Amino acid sequence: MAKEKENGDGQVQVAVDLDAGALFVLKSRGSWWHCGYHLTTSIVAPSLLSLPFAFKMLGWVGGSVGLAFCGLVTFYAYHLLSLVLEHHAMNGSRLLRFRDMATNILGPKWGTFYVGPIQFGVCYGSVVAGILIGGQNMKYIYVLSNPEGTMKLYQFIIIFGSLILILAQIPSFHSLRHINLLSLTLSLAYSACVTVASLILGYSKNAPPKDYSVQGSAVGQLFNAFNGISVIATSYACGMVPEIQATLVAPVKGKMFKGLCLCYAVIAATFLSVGISGYWAFGNEAKGTVLTNFMGQNQLPSWLLIMTNAFCLLQVSAVTGVYLQPTNELFEKKLADPTKKQFSTRNIVPRLISRSLTVIIATIFSSMLPFFGDLMGLIGALGFIPLDFIMPMIFYNATFKPSKRTFIFWINTVIVAISSVLATIGGVAAIRQIVLDAKEYRLFANV
């Protein structure tokens, strides 16, 4: 927690007293542009390539409504979080982390036993998933370039993990700002490539059959619908809005809203184009990621597929680097000494060891469990939905205490209730899907 206060003109009046994690990782030096880059990288990730698959489980109407609903709710939720953080900054306690918010607003047990562990789980799970996706992109490029090649998926995961091992040593969240600007550009680039590829296939003479009916029994359709909502919710998820806002230089008032507007402009361009074009092209044949649908399609030029996968590969490295930051901050707080210089031997050695071990363990998990996508559905339901759809409303109501007669109190309460139901049923649906797919699980599988 930063002990600083902004007066009416937004000037900082009190000196800052920070622990090593906040001092070294969450440096408050960024502008709202930088904040927008961080937000975009944390949300607009290759997970959006699963949106056609979510449409498959929900149909045109359900998919469109789910995409719009999750977009509106998350924008609203992230804005509420920023207002709560600004309020505390104006009153002398700038909260820099999600667990700081929970501890300060709801009590220490919430930060220690609920929000902190959930955030660590979803962020580290995203690191594992990012390394897996990067390995899959490398394998796709390899297969396209050398169809007779014999290299296995786990080998590419290890290669990509080595890249992340280097990227993990970047000292602070703010240091990623230029990489995240490139990430924003790459997300627009591969989304455009995917849209073009979908249109080429959809209009080709040998176009895939287009069946948009929601398949399965009534019970299966219900579980699939909640699983599809979990996929969409995970695509919009961030899980580290307070940490991103912490990178803003004081005064912070109004800056997060500008960053959110930049981020959601990119979201609108990418999510809509990929989700709609991918489902239109493949219908009920949509796979877990639309790139899987593209593989083996003779109508698509190899250079387009290689370029799309290359853009995804580069961008997912930035995404993985962003989701490492809460983990880096946590270990830095425990292991570093804030009274020593950041690049002193005393602080560099434990940082190098902890960050390297974090990436190595994540790479091992990615290699062993290449079906981690199923687990991400569970992480989305039980992790991202509570953090991004439920806690912001609770924080706002607990901080500002709006009257029960006001619209904002009831809209927040309704969102919490609906999101809690979605999280519960989505978790059950994700577990059900894991059980159904368990027969295909095999350690170090070459999928």
pLDDT in tens, 75-124: 999 999 999 999 999 988 899 999 999 999 999 999 999 999 999 999 99
Tell me whether residue 114 is in a domain: yes
Tell me whether residue 1 is in a domain: no
Q: What is the CATH number of the domain that holds 114?
A: 1.20.1740.10
Tell me whether residue 445 is in a domain: no
Structure confidence at residue 14 (pLDDT): 41
pLDDT digits (tens, 9 = 90+) for 219-275: 878 878 887 888 888 899 999 999 999 999 989 999 999 999 999 999 999 999 999
Please say if the pLDDT value at position 447 is more than 80.
Answer: no
SS3 category, 150 = coil
Range of the domain at 148: 23-440
Q: What is the pTM of this model?
A: 0.92
> Distance (Å, rounded) from C-alpha 304 to C-alpha 45?
19
| CA–centroid distance for 228 within its chain | 16
Please say if the pLDDT value at position 11 is more than 60.
Answer: no
Q: What is the DSSP letter of 12?
A: B
CB 255 within 8 A of CB 35: yes
> What average pLDDT does range 12-19 have in this prediction?
59
Tell me whether residue 3 is in a domain: no
pLDDT digits (tens, 9 = 90+) for 321-374: 999 999 999 999 999 999 999 999 999 999 999 999 999 999 999 888 766 556
Tell me whether residue 98 is in a domain: yes
Tell me whether residue 15 is in a domain: no
Which residue, 158, 8, 159, 19, is CA-closest to 89? Answer: 8
Token duo for residue 346: 């005393």
Label residues 329-363 b or e (16+ Cβ within 10 Å = b): bbbbbebbebeeebeeeebbebbeebbeebbbebb
| Sign of the C-alpha dihedral computed for residues 338, 343, 345 and 348 taken in this order | positive
pLDDT digits (tens, 9 = 90+) for 150-177: 899 999 999 999 999 999 999 999 999 9
Neighbours of 384 (CB within 10 A): 27
Tell me whether residue 62 is in a domain: yes
pLDDT band for position 148 (cuts 50, 70, 90): confident
> Distance (Å, rounded) from C-alpha 108 to C-alpha 400?
19
pLDDT digits (tens, 9 = 90+) for 384-443: 889 999 999 999 999 999 999 999 999 999 999 999 988 888 788 778 777 777 677 676
Structure confidence at residue 3 (pLDDT): 59
Structure confidence at residue 312 (pLDDT): 95
Task: Report the number of secondary-structure helices (H) and strands (E) in the chain.
Answer: 19, 0
Structure confidence at residue 5 (pLDDT): 62
CA separation, residue 213 to residues 58, 60, 61, 216 (Å): 9, 9, 11, 10
Tell me whether residue 288 is in a domain: yes
pLDDT digits (tens, 9 = 90+) for 166-215: 999 999 999 999 999 999 999 999 999 999 999 999 888 887 778 888 88
If one counts the domains in the chain, the total is 1
